[in-house]
Amino acid sequence: MNTSNTKVLLGLLVCFFFILSSCSSDDDTNTGIIPFTADIFHSVNGKAVAFQGITNNASSWSWDFGDGSTSNQKNPIHTYTEGGYYTAVLTAADETGATLVKEVELAIDITPYVLLTGGATAESGKTWKLSSAHSEGDYFANADAELSAFDGAPAPLPAGIFGAGLGMGEVYEDEFTFFFDGNYEQDVKADGAVFSGLLYQFVTTGGAGIVNDGGADFGLCTGVFTPEAATFTYAESENMTVSSVYGPGGMLTYNGVSTLDFSGEAFIGLKDFEQKVIIQELTDNTMRLVLFLAASQDFIGVNTNAVILTFEVVK
Amino acid sequence: MDTHNHFQNKVARYSACLSFVLFLLFSSYISAQTVTGTVSSAADGMPLPGVTVLIKGTTSGTSADFDGNYTIDIPDANSTLVFSYLGFEAQDIEVAGRTTINVVMNEDAQALDEVVVTALGIKREEKSLGYSVENVAAEELTRVAQENVLNSLSGKVAGVTLNNTGGAGSSVSMVIRGAISLSSDNQPLFVVDGVPIANTLNNIGGFGDRNPVDYGNAISDLDPQSIENVSILKGPSAAALYGSRAGNGVVLITTKKAKDKEKMKVNFTSNTVFDVPYRYLDTQSQFANGYFSFSPESQGGSYILPDVIPAGGNGGPELDKGYYAVQWNSPLDANGVPIPTELVSYPDNVKEFVQTGITTTNSITITNSTEALNYRMGVTALDNTGIIPNSDFKRNSFSLSASSKFSDKLEASTNVNVVHGYADNRPASNRGTNPLQAAYSVPANINILDVKDYKLPGTDIYNFSSDYSNPWFLANEVNNSFSRFRVYGNFALDWKVSPSFNIRTSYNLNSFNQTQETKMAPGYNRETNNGTYGIAKTDGLETNIDLLASYNKDLGDFDMTISAGGNLMYQKNNGLINSAATGAGLIVPNLFTVDNIAPATLNYSSYTTERGINSVYGLANFGFKDMLYLDVTARNDWSSTLPVDNRSYFYPSASLSLLVSELVSIPKVDLLKVRAGWARVGNDTSPYQLSSYFNNNGQWENAVLYSGQSGLNTPNLEPEEATSQEIGIDLNMFSNRLRFEGTYYTVENRNQIVPNIPIPGSSGYNSVSINAGVLESKGLELSLGFTPVRTENFNWDVNLNYTTNESTILELSDGVDYIEFWSENKSVSRGYVANAATGEDGLVGNIYSPLIKRVTDVNSPYYNYPLLGSGEDAEWLAQDERVKVGNYNPDFVMGLQTTLSYKNLSLNLTFDWRSGGQYMSQTSRYMVEDGYGQQILNNLINPGISEPGPELKQWVLDNADLLIYGENFLSIGGPPSNGGFAQDLGGSVVYDGIFNAGVVGTHDENGNFILESENLGEAGTAFIPFSVANPWDFGTPHMFDADYVKLREVSLSYDLPSKFIERTAIDNLSVSLYSRNIMLWTKDSEFGIDPERAFQAETSSGNRGTQFKQGIERYNVDPWLVPIGIKIGITF
């Protein structure tokens, strides 16, 4: 007889002869001691930055925003007067007087092109890769006007889904580098292959190029790709027309979107018929792109889906 | 009080006068002397009303009045008076000139003449029976209140298996002596005061996608308070007189009636039970939602982790560690960006969801008897609030039974019962709208109380994710209501033509009208079009007209009774069902009418079935010198559901009883009886199974489509035929302080009606029903009672019973390899024919499941190593073949009942022990797969070595028996805090990796193993996150032993001493505290499934009709309860 049953028996006796009391056996509670920690969470809107001091066991918070301003609030909001790169520093102290210092680098009011490429001074450009953590905005969509969520996939995509779920963890390794001068480089890493549409691979290589078909259920795989010298084109706002099984006449236009396009066979994120992508969000550290996918054998080359994925900076 | 006494006295006087008048009528001479006195019981000193007082050698006599007083005129002062009363020893007392004789009657210690109710309601002395009949008396049924009378039988009766789906008002399955029919639900026939009540398990309903609701079967309509006696005719020998309806045994229920010459009594009983939930499924609350267990280690030291948004998997970051992440309900900062919040655990989500259930049952009965009329009337109201929020059940029962003697020879009796059972909402079971399933699916990092207020403006539901159902919504807005009126009763005439010849005829009726409705608001993710609505109205009627004539003759040493009779049975069922097609929903939300369903998606149907069985039967009992008894019965049935040419079936039986203790006197032995019986009974089929017909299959353009059935009906079906033999021995010793009864039986069931046997599509049909096979059941039923202490004030009784049964398939038809009972959980339950050559044991209840696929090359160094998938799929591969892994039937079941009484205080305990057998839990399978179940953590082993390499491999090899050769499904590694291996996610590294020990490779055509890679802990071993550790392709990780011990009933009751109440109008006042169905021990249920509830109530297909799938469960997971009940009974 296990202990909880014994407890129950005793409990029963108590209940029976005395009063109706609680006879429950409590679950084990986790009594691990949480250490003193400090981290910074922030968001930027124009020149206004909302800071959150994410701390355990801290009793005071001291912020230096890097422009001469300071604050003692836990979660201050600071508006910078000038654009530029800043380092904000949080010094948290606990009751014993011990302190922790954390800092965050901020790109305030920087143009999107500079956010993408690192600016003119970044000689080795700015390198991005698919974020395995994903974000709340990442999901598998239909290629319709609303980019509605595709029924058969989890939305948002869970962290590491392409690795744990589809067995194609290597897609998180490939790197994409943007240079201020418009040049573009790709590093496909050890497998020599890139994230790609399964149908695209069948159509273009007869299936010979498929390296890992773990994502076949979603029309995804990895396929052989050899990068060549290429350039990219950034448009801050344009009306982008793409093929879509959901559009009239097989075409759909997304108005007023930021886009990235590439020369030759170059692409970012997902190698498929459509190489132009929509930028949904771009910050100093992350960008979220809409990557189109033509996955229907009945409409070869016409987009049926879109994978909306977050990329992160490789430091 | 005074008026009451006055009334009583008046009635007493009236009655005494009446007795006197009657006496005068019978007397043929003028009395010489008058004797008066009081008769009382030796046991409690209470007066005994109704004792018969006869003048020896004459037919003259009288009986004692309400207060035990009698007055008799005797012809002369030397007469002898005979005092007799049922259950007491008769006494001869010489008057010897006395005028006052007070008599103390002793209870009949022999108890040999115990009268039991047998087939057709015929009362027989138990000693004369050649077969086993089990009796359960009223006090056993009501000592602890149960909403369903069948639940009161648990642990008390040998040879009976009971299952129920849950709380008050749910269906209860009763199977006697094992399942002998492969096609039916094996439910016995219930006969209540002569009214047959079929108790099939087909009242699982509910509209909408996956909304299965149990509305309770017929027997749940019975009011346990009104039951006097339950008599279980277990074997065909006992039940043979019921012919083609007796295949699964018969349960005779006798309701309470007013007794002759009993004074008026008013009885009030009040029961209140609190069902306190105390144990829940063993879930983990250590990890948040997610597939990867991120930690500061994986985030460069930051305590801010990637977003934790509910989307499958529960092996996310560890909780209560000070970690932060953006969660489903994160507040927004000034820029509208969600802020990370602390990841904390809510281990009591289900506990917060359920509530204490309350059931109150109040009943009042009035019994009275006058010379002209005996009657009992009663009303019982049951009101249940379930442990699931917004669930209820109510049942109001009205009963009236009366009998009246027109003359000495003619008596008319009737009893009428009206029951109204209803509920606003019966919660769904199984999966889908089951609120408990949804409550258990709330990830540990989410507080279930945060979504309790789920109503948003419009029809939207506030929830933590659109992929999950809100349990509060399901409980409150998916309402499965029902209302069922049942009327049953009879009218009977008994005509004593002569002292030895009597005729009884009766008309019996059982009918019900039921309305079931499902009202589902928008918000359930499988009914996304404004919810759904459906209504079903079903009516059932059964009438029986019986005639039975009996003649008995006493010829000195010989006595005999011969009876003959007939029965006309007629059944009619009809129904009308309207609902929205699955997923089609309603035109506007929250308007629950049929008109609100778009015409194109309205599912509509109606049906009517009729059925009749005409029967004649006869029975003869012969007794010789009260020591040898022979019973012979015969019945012929003509059933409308069978083809004309073979619709007539004959069902004979014979049984013999020999009282050895009458033959030879054995010291200390009160009774030694040996008995044997042989019988044949049947089981016909449902209506309309003989010829094929067309069904409306919807519209095609403007035409209506009619299509044939996919199953071919069979014009030459025969009834199932069960032939049984039983032998038994009864032994009572030491003035009945030791009581033993043993029965061994075999039942051979031929001509099993097996539906859905596949046939070639070229025939135009997919399947056919056939008569096939031979099934044999063997079993042993033992009961042992002893009374270690029996004194005036202190009494201790112990009764034990033991049951074992085994059913084996001896034959099936050609081309039929097996009968499939269910296919779930990557496993099947099938019945194969016993065959020594194939090693198949033929047992019913076997469970077959795949084992781990292994290296079969004996020359390989990896011989017997598990084969794994490669890369991210480095999980155990399953064999293609399934092997027997268990059987859902118990080895034996044992019940123990003990009563300890001291003066007015008594303690009753009933225990129930089931030994052997297994069950599979789909709840466990789903919950471990999704990472909710604690088992996912329990099956991880931390090797204490953090890096892959030779050291780790050596550790694996050192533990090879456990990790390689065993079928244990243990993974090596764990979460970040407990042995997790590094997993490279491409850029970030998570420390939550595990691996399964085995090899990757193939066998060539010669059976040689070709290794592709080892997965034993060296470099190259494939690590996967622990969140996906559950081996989905196997059934055995979620199979458990079903052994348990339950405290079925415990009650402590106190009768207020009469000296306290005698000055009041109250005759009796008792108070008791009780509890019931408390799990004391399970052999193997860490997960927390009640093994007794390991079945799925479904309207199943396959080779079986509607049934409870045994040995498999899916979300039949009410928390374990500690009920606390109090009962107060007052009799005026």
pLDDT digits (tens, 9 = 90+) for A239-254: 999 999 998 888 999 9
Nearest to B283 by CA among B924, B719, B1113: B924
**pLDDT recorded at residue B27:** 42
Least confident of B63-67, B316-320, B343-347, B860-864: B63-67
CA B937 to chain centre: 34
More confident residue, B842 or B702: B842
pLDDT of B911 strictly over 90: yes
| pLDDT at residue B647 in the model | 85
User: Angle at Cα B151 formed by Cα B149 and Cα B152, nearest 5°?
Assistant: 70
Give the pLDDT band of residue B68 (cuts 50, 70, 90): confident
State yes or no: pLDDT of B63 exceeds 90. Answer: no
CB-nearest to B872 from A45, A75, A214 is: A214
Measured CA to CA, the distance from residue A208 to residue B1073 in angstroms comes to 77
Contact status of B1122 with chain A (Cβ, < 8 Å): yes
Q: How far is B126 from chain A (nearest CA, A)?
A: 39
Please say whether the beta carbons of B741 and B730 come within 8 A. yes
For residue B771, give the amino acid letter: N
CB contact under 8 Å between B987 and A173, yes or no, is: yes
Complex ipTM above 0.85? Answer: no
Grouping H, G, I as helix, E, B as strand and the rest as coil, residue B1060 is helix
Does the pLDDT value for residue A264 go beyond 80? yes
Q: Which residues of A touch B320 (CB under 8 A)?
A: 30, 32, 34
Q: Is the pLDDT of residue B691 over 90?
A: no
Angle at B994 between CA B991 and CA B997, to 5 degrees: 155
Give the span between the Cα atoms of B417 and B154, in whole angstroms. Answer: 25
* Chain B nearest-CA residue for A132: B985
Q: Which residue has the tokens 């190698």?
A: A271
pLDDT one-digit tens code per residue, B128-153: 888 888 888 888 888 888 888 888 88
Nearest-by-CA chain B residue for A170: B986
Task: Say what the pLDDT of residue A139 is.
Answer: 93
B25 has pLDDT over 50 = no
Over residues B907-913, mean pLDDT: 93
Residue-wise pLDDT tens digits, B32-41? 678 888 888 7
How distant is the Cα of B1072 from the closest Cα of chain A, in angstroms? 11
| Strands B711-712 and B767-790, sheet pairing | parallel
Nearest CA in chain A to B306: A133
Kindly list the residues from chain B whose CB atom is less than 8 angstroms away from the CB atom of residue A52. 333, 339-340
How close is the nearest chain B Cα to the Cα of A164, in Å? Answer: 7
pLDDT at B986: 61
Q: Is the pLDDT of residue B549 over 70?
A: yes
What would the two tokens of residue B367 be? 């019994």
Distance of residue B334 Cα from the nearest chain A Cα, in angstroms: 6
Contact A133 B307 (CB under 8 A): yes
Whether residue A12 is predicted with pLDDT greater than 80 in this model: the reply is: no
- The confidence score (pLDDT) of residue B1067 equals 77
Band of pLDDT at residue B29, cut at 50, 70 and 90: very low
Among A124-138, B816-830, B924-938, which range has the highest average pLDDT?
Answer: B924-938
**B1132, B1068 Cβ separation under 8 angstroms:** no
pLDDT score of B1062 = 63
CB B1025 within 8 A of CB B292: yes
Task: Identify the band that residue A13 occupies on the pLDDT scale cut at 50, 70 and 90.
Answer: very low
Please tell me which residue of chain B has the smallest CA distance to A27: B347
Chain B neighbors of A133, CB-CB under 8 A: 294, 306-307, 988
Q: Which pLDDT does position B20 carry in this prediction?
A: 43
- Report the alpha-carbon distance of residue B875 to residue B867 in Å, rounded: 8
Please give, rounded to a whole number of angstroms, the shortest distance from the CA of B893 to a CA of chain A.
Answer: 19
Closest CA to B580 of B625, B631, B530: B530
Q: pTM of the full predicted structure?
A: 0.83
Contacts of A155 in chain B (CB under 8 A): 311, 467
Closest alpha carbon to B1081 in A1, A30, A171: A1
> Rounded mean pLDDT of B1094-1115?
71
Q: Which of B285, B312, B872 sits opposite A27 (nearest CB)?
A: B285
Which one has a higher pLDDT value, B704 or B495? B495
Q: How large is the average pLDDT for residues B788-802?
A: 89
Phi, psi (rounded to 5 degrees) for B848: -120, 135
Least confident of B270-274, B429-433, B955-959: B429-433
Taking the CA of residue A198 and the nearest CA in chain B, the distance in Å comes to 19
Among B305, B309, B991, pick the best mutation site for testing chain A contact (most A Cβ within 10 A): B309
Is the confidence at residue B202, as pLDDT, over 60?
Answer: yes
Judge whether residue B663 has pLDDT over 80.
yes
Average pLDDT over residues B192-218: 86
**Residues above pLDDT 70, as percent of chain B:** 94
What pLDDT sits at residue B74? 84
Residues 864-903 of chain B whose Cβ lies under 8 A from any Cβ of chain A: 871-873
Summarised one tens digit per residue, pLDDT across range B798-853 is 999 999 999 999 988 877 888 888 899 999 999 999 999 988 999 999 999 999 99
Q: Spell out which residues of chain A touch residue B322, defining contact as CB-CB under 8 Å.
A: 34-35, 37, 56-57
| Block residue for tokens 């006309």 | B568
CB–CB contact B351 A24 (8 Å)? yes
User: B224 or B926: which carries more pLDDT confidence?
Assistant: B926
| First vs last C-alpha separation in chain A | 57
Q: Mean of the per-residue pLDDT values for chain A?
A: 87
- Answer whether A179's CB lies under 8 Å from A125's CB: yes
Q: Are B1083 and B1091 in contact (CB under 8 A)?
A: no
Interface with chain B: mutation pick from A2, A6, A7, A12, highest number of B CBs within 10 Å? A12
d(CA A93, CA A56): 10
**Which among A57, A129, A164 is the nearest to B292, CB-wise?**
A164
pLDDT of A87 over the 60 cut: yes
Collect all residues of chain A within an 8 Å Cβ-Cβ radius of residue B340. 41, 52, 54
Q: What pLDDT band is residue B755 in, cutting at 50, 70 and 90?
A: confident
Mean predicted confidence (pLDDT) in B250-271: 88
Nearest to A131 by CA among A287, A271, A315: A287
State the pLDDT at residue B742.
94
Q: Report how far residue A152's alpha carbon sits from residue B512's, in angstroms, rounded to the nearest whole number.
A: 45
pLDDT of residue B767: 81
Tens-digit pLDDT profile for residues A201-224: 999 999 899 999 988 888 899 999
**Residue B177 DSSP symbol:** S
- pLDDT-derived band at B274 (thresholds 50, 70, 90) equals very high
- Residue with the bigger pLDDT between A27 and A179: it is A179
Q: How confident is the model at residue A15 (pLDDT cuts 50, 70, 90)?
A: very low
Helices (H) and strands (E) counted in chain A, each on its own, are: 3, 19
Distance CA(B320)–CA(B334), nearest Å, equals 27
pLDDT of B162 above 70: yes
> How far is A28 from chain B, CA to nearest CA, in Å?
9
* Beta-carbon separation of B278 and A159 below 8 A: no
Give A311→chain B minimum CA distance, Å: 12
Residues 6+ apart with CB under 8 A from B2: none
Mean pLDDT of chain B: 88
Q: With CB atoms and an 8 Å threshold, state whether B987 touches A312.
A: yes
Is residue A107 within 8 A of residue A115, CB to CB? The reply is yes
pLDDT tens across B987-1034, in order?
A: 678 999 999 999 999 999 999 999 999 999 999 899 999 999 999 999
Query: Which one of A30, A54, A157 has the shortest CB-CB distance to B340?
Result: A54
**Between the CA of residue B1124 and those of A14, A16, B1051, what are the distances in Å?**
11, 7, 10
DSSP string, B194-248: TEEEE--S--EE--STT--EE---GGGGS-GGGEEEEEEE-SHHHHGGGGGG-TT
For residue A233, give the nearest of A295, A288, A280, A277 by alpha carbon: A277
Give me the mean pLDDT over the B468-495 stretch: 95
pLDDT in tens, B551-594: 998 888 898 999 999 999 999 999 999 999 999 999 999 999 99
Break chain B down into helix, strand, coil percent, rounded to 5: 15, 50, 40
Whether the pLDDT of residue B289 is over 90: the answer is yes
pLDDT of residue B12: 45
Count residue pairs from A and B with Cβ separation < 8 A.
Answer: 167
With a cut of 50, say whether residue A10 has pLDDT above it. Answer: no
Q: Which long-range contacts (CB under 8 A, 24 or more apart) does B23-32 make?
A: B23/B60, B23/B62, B23/B72, B23/B73, B26/B59, B26/B60, B27/B60, B27/B73, B29/B75, B31/B73, B31/B74, B31/B75, B32/B73, B32/B74, B32/B75, B32/B76, B32/B77
The Cα-based distances of B5 to B1, B43, B264, B1063, B1067 in angstroms read 6, 25, 12, 10, 12
- Closest Cα in chain B, distance from residue A108 (Å): 14
Phi, psi of B872, rounded to the nearest 5 degrees: -70, -15
Q: Are B149 and B227 in contact (CB under 8 A)?
A: yes
Average pLDDT over residues A113-121: 91
Locate the chain A residue with the closest alpha carbon to B871.
Answer: A167
